[in-house]
Amino acid sequence: MASASESTNATGSAVRRPKAVRRRDELRRAVAAFRASGQTVGLVPTMGAVHAGHLSLVEACRTECDVTIATLFVNPTQFGPGEDFAQYPRPLDADLEAFGRHGVDLVFMPDTEEMYRPDHQTFIEVGGVSEAFEGEGRPGHFRGVATIVLKLLNVAAADIAYFGQKDYQQSLVIRRLVEDLDLPVQIRVCPIVRDPDGLAMSSRNVYLSGQERRQALALPESLARAEEQITAGERDADVIRQAMTEHLERAGLDVQYVALVDSGTMTSTHTVTGPTVALVAAKVGKTRLIDNRIIG
Ligand code: AMP
């Protein structure tokens, strides 16, 4: 295990902080030492503003791997022009504390120049699964995601990497990347963690006013409705999507897409016959939120 340091938090109690490294070569050396001593290494990539969703990935990693490495990196290449890269929350101390409390052994927190040198010229394009929905609404987003995930996997040389179902399409893009490029890592996708009222946890929820947060509940509600309809025997995807869209619009949301897709390929479903994923993206005020539910 990596060495950790102790400090005190606002209430004066001792907090175990994981060892944190900023440079790729430091991470490589640490991972090489873990592996040389026969330990398995798990990786939990995050952009920080840590919440219980991120921590569920940490828990899953700790149950399977000897060493848990989390990353904190707000990846500029996955944000489009006009998106929230500059304002994305970066509560570094709280993140390190949260990771420490949950038993993360090592945090990799490079700055932008460490991951993208000024002469960086190589990007990864995943095809098919990345094209619709998030790929269409956020051009270049998955190119940035695939590039940073490949770079993190290369530097961390983990046995297993953990991602959330919250970003369902992203999880398929990453599985495709790993399979197509023969990467020697296993991918785990962990269930969505929700607040008690049903809203999927997201670092972007801090942008919501009280009123917007109530409106945002229409996302999980619309997914629950889709499941109810399917359970009741509805098979026509257009009928289900229409009901979901109406529910979101009634709550005052700006709907970006409402989709029912095949769970493995992200292709749109016309008639629900097998395992289906319902996905929604909508803006609540200025904040763009996504959510999904696996049905059947
Ligand atoms: P992010 O920091 O938003 O890039 O997320 C880092 C990882 O945490 C990604 O694999 C996300 O899918 C996952 N994640 C984010 N929110 C949740 C959530 N509510 N439940 C489970 N996993 C999540």
Q: What is the pLDDT of residues 16-62, one digit of tens each?
A: 789 999 999 999 999 999 999 999 999 999 999 999 999 999 999 99
**What percentage of the chain carries pLDDT values higher than 90?**
94
- Residue 202 beta carbon below 6 angstroms from any ligand 1 atom: yes
- Residue 203 beta carbon below 6 angstroms from any ligand 1 atom: yes
- Asked if residue 60 lies in contact with residue 162, where contact means CB atoms within 8 angstroms, the answer is yes
pLDDT of 1: 47
**Nearest Cα residue to 148 out of 131, 170, 132, 167:** 170
Which residue do the tokens 């490949």 mark? 150
- Residue 201 beta carbon below 6 angstroms from any ligand 1 atom: yes
Expressed in angstroms and rounded, the spacing between residue 267 Cα and the centre of ligand 1 is 23
* Pocket probe mutation, ligand 1, options 46, 79, 168, max atoms within 8 Å of Cβ: 46
* 156-186 pLDDT, tens digit each: 999 999 999 999 999 999 999 999 999 999 9
Expressed in angstroms and rounded, the spacing between residue 237 Cα and the centre of ligand 1 is 27
- Residue identifier of the C-alpha nearest atom 14 of ligand 1: 164
- Reported pTM: 0.96
What residues are paired with 154 via a beta bridge?
Answer: none
